Amino acid sequence: MRTSLWVLAVAVVCAVAYLVVCYVVAARLSAPVRRPVERTPADFGLGYREVEVRSSDGLRLSAWWVEGAGSSRAAVLVHGWGADKSSRHVLETAAVYEEAGFDVLMIDLRGHGGSEGDRITLGYREVRDVQGALSWLEKRGFDPERVVLHGWSMGGVAVIQAAPGTGVAAVVEESAYADLPPLLRERLPEVSGLPTFFTPGIFLVGKLFLGIDPWAVRPVEEAGQLSREGVAFMIIHSRDDQLVPFEHAETLAKAHPGAVFWTLEGYEHVHAYEHPEYRERLLGFLDEAAKLPE
């Protein structure tokens, strides 16, 4: 009897220790990422003003609004994990949309930049930030059919998941993942420094205690829905992306057979904007595939 109790006690202590370690890692990896603003739209020749957007669950989101002269078309630009609206790839792309006659809304996702939020959820709740951006535009008279959603990495996941059923004209994603659990199983041991034995526990405590459900982040499903709805879709991904394997882009392309799929070679994660054809490719998609009304 005493031996059995001892074994049980050891098992309980080991289980608790396991969950504590998993919680600490999950909490650290989902903690807010905030950094000083290094550049603004003005550095790219864009007039802008600071605005506040409310996510669909009530968080205050910091945003920049680039408004042209009477444009009826708008683009929502959404950064990924660890970035913000002042990231170079966001601002470089904002200049392309502005040149094409779009008003541009750049948001800080929850837990980033100047936005509220005490947890980054890898797309699970960030979709509500994109929903809030769409509501903000709608209140200012922009019809969804004249709106393009453009996101990078986690932001790409958020725009894909937010788009179905909204009637938006098009979705552009760069370096997004198609299915979160396989990506986490591959990357967590590397970023956490823990063996794969801890990965299921990190998933579990994330869902139970931190409000993160990785099993619910499968944008490949929403990509299929966008295909059925006839929403124009552009995929931009480099075969040399070290953070999100190229296979994720292929999976998204299979789910949306009509997607414009631009494959790059030799470019890092979310660095497609450095490609000499980036502006031309994006404008071509907007003119030909998206076919937004003037």
Q: pLDDT category, 10, cuts 50, 70, 90?
A: low
Output the pLDDT for position 152: 98
Task: Give the tens place of pLDDT for each residue, 86-137.
Answer: 999 999 999 999 999 999 999 999 999 999 999 999 999 999 999 999 999 9
Residue environment code for 141-178, b if the CB has 16+ CB neighbours within 10 A, otherwise e? ebebebbbbbbbbbbbbbbbbbbbebebbbbbbbbbbb
**CA gap 255, 226 in Å, rounded:** 9
Mean pLDDT of 244-270: 97
**What pLDDT, on the 0 to 100 scale, is given for residue 259?**
97
Q: What is the largest CA-CA distance in the chain?
A: 82
Q: Could you report how far apart the first and last alpha carbons of the chain are, in Å?
A: 80
β-pairing, 49-54 with 60-66? antiparallel
* 142-194 tens-digit pLDDT: 999 999 999 999 999 999 999 999 999 999 999 999 999 999 999 999 988 89
* pLDDT tens digits, 75-88: 999 999 999 999 99
Q: Which of 129, 123, 121 is nearest to 175 (CA)?
A: 123
Find out whether 170 and 176 touch, Cβ atoms under 8 Å: no
How much is the pLDDT for 168?
Answer: 97
What is the average pLDDT value for the chain, to the nearest integer?
93
Alpha-carbon torsion angle 155, 158, 159, 165, nearest 10: 180
Within 13 Å, how many C-alpha atoms sit on residue 140's CB side?
20
User: Which CATH number applies to 40-179+217-290: 3.30.70.420, 3.40.190.80, 3.40.50.300, 3.40.50.1820?
Assistant: 3.40.50.1820
d(CA 207, CA 210): 6
Residue 153 is predicted with a pLDDT of 98
Q: What is the pLDDT of residues 45-74, one digit of tens each?
A: 999 999 999 999 999 999 999 998 677 899
Predicted confidence at residue 292, as pLDDT, reads 66
Residue 16's pLDDT band, with cuts at 50, 70 and 90, is: confident
C-alpha pair distances (Å), 58 with each of 14, 75, 207, 237: 39, 22, 21, 32
